[in-house]
């Protein structure tokens, strides 16, 4: 896997990001506790952790997609090519969402609009973020992106509705919608959770192939260490809103330094091993300060 561009001039530079959620009659919940990380152009960073660790909250904050309130960003900077997203106006954010940072969500059947055809949903993205594509060329451009994500006979799928497609094809349409705006960064939030194992492998291979073709950076959000080998350049591990470990993917996978990282990796099933009791979080974190 080729090395990513130097982080001396990162595409994305997050510094001391702190996020909490206001409670009406309950104490505020701190979801992200001052994390910092960077991403280079063309790099894949896998952000790993169990549900509730703050991964998706961090990912949504990158394009200011969290509802504010109840979400409150108490401190930090999120520099996209040197521009702080936290200081952008609503108009400037519209130029970031979809055009600079695009999202692939984990449940395509819930993310695609059930009352619009595939043609209409991709056309909307292209009209918003690709003014270079003329009305006459719109159909050919849609077919091009559907072909690129591996949908057979894309011309026959243009007038299909999401419920007429399989889960794997819906996810491919979601990927096409994210990529057709030619973003610099794609946030893939649990992109294979709703798919069976065979389709999971196909989608991950597709993301790796498209990254190589298009030169985009990918932030892969997952709770599963088993899917990141061979795809991620670096790994960031989150626990209770903290970034507890971050480093080269090969190094982290072979020599995990933090007890929580080791506990997550112990959850990966391995063929030929006898069944054993998995350690609880309390056991894995024994002796480590919260």
- Banded pLDDT at 19 (limits 50, 70, 90): very high
The DSSP secondary structure of 146-208, one letter per residue, reads HHHTT-SSHHHHTT--GGGS-HHHHHHHHHHHHHTT--SEEEEESTTTTS-HHHHHHHHHHHH
**By the 8 A CB rule, do 106 and 190 touch?**
yes
Quote the pLDDT of residue 1. Answer: 40
User: Two tokens at 125?
Assistant: 């993205």
Q: Which domains does the chain have, with CATH numbers?
A: 12-270+277-284 (3.40.50.300)
Confidence band (pLDDT; 50, 70, 90) for 5?
very low
Q: Which residues, 6+ apart, have CB-to-CB distance to 138 below 8 Å?
A: 123, 126, 127
Q: Is the pLDDT of residue 220 over 70?
A: yes
Where does the pLDDT of residue 8 fall: very low under 50, low under 70, confident under 90, or very high at 90 and above? low
Give pLDDT tens digits for 131-155. 888 888 888 999 998 988 888 888 8
CA distance 20 to 7: 28
What pTM value is reported for the model?
Answer: 0.84
The tens digit of pLDDT for each residue in 49-81 reads: 888 889 999 999 999 999 988 999 999 999 999
Peptide bond into 9 cis (omega under 30): no
Question: pLDDT at position 195, please?
Answer: 65
């Amino acid at each position: 896997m080729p090395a990513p561009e130097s982080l001396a001039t990162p595409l994305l530079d997050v510094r001391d990001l702190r996020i909490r959620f206001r409670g009406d009659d309950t104490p505020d919940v701190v979801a992200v506790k001052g994390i910092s990380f960077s991403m280079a152009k063309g790099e894949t960073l896998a952000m790993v952790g169990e549900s509730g660790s703050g991964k998706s909250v961090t990912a949504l904050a990158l394009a200011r997609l969290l509802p504010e309130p109840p979400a409150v960003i108490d401190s930090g900077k999120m520099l996209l090519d040197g521009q702080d997203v936290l200081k952008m106006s609503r108009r400037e954010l519209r130029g970031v969402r979809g055009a600079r940072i695009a999202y692939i969500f984990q449940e395509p059947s819930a993310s695609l609009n059930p009352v619009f055809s595939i043609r209409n949903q991709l056309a909307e993205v292209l009209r918003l973020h690709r003014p270079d594509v003329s009305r006459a060329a719109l159909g050919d451009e849609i077919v091009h992106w559907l072909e690129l994500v591996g949908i057979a006979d894309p011309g026959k799928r243009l007038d299909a509705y999401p419920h007429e497609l399989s889960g794997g094809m819906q996810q491919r349409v979601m990927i096409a919608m994210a990529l057709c705006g030619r973003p610099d960064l794609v946030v893939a939030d649990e992109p294979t959770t709703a798919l069976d194992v065979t389709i999971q492998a196909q989608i991950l291979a597709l993301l790796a192939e498209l990254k190589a073709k298009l030169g985009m950076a990918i932030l892969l959000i997952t709770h599963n260490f088993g899917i990141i080998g061979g795809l991620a350049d670096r790994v960031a591990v989150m626990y209770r809103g903290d970034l507890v470990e971050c480093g080269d993917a090969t190094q982290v996978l072979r020599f995990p330094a933090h007890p929580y990282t080791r506990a997550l990796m112990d959850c990966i099933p391995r063929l030929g091993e006898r069944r054993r009791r998995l350690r609880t979080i309390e056991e894995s974190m024994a002796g480590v300060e919260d």
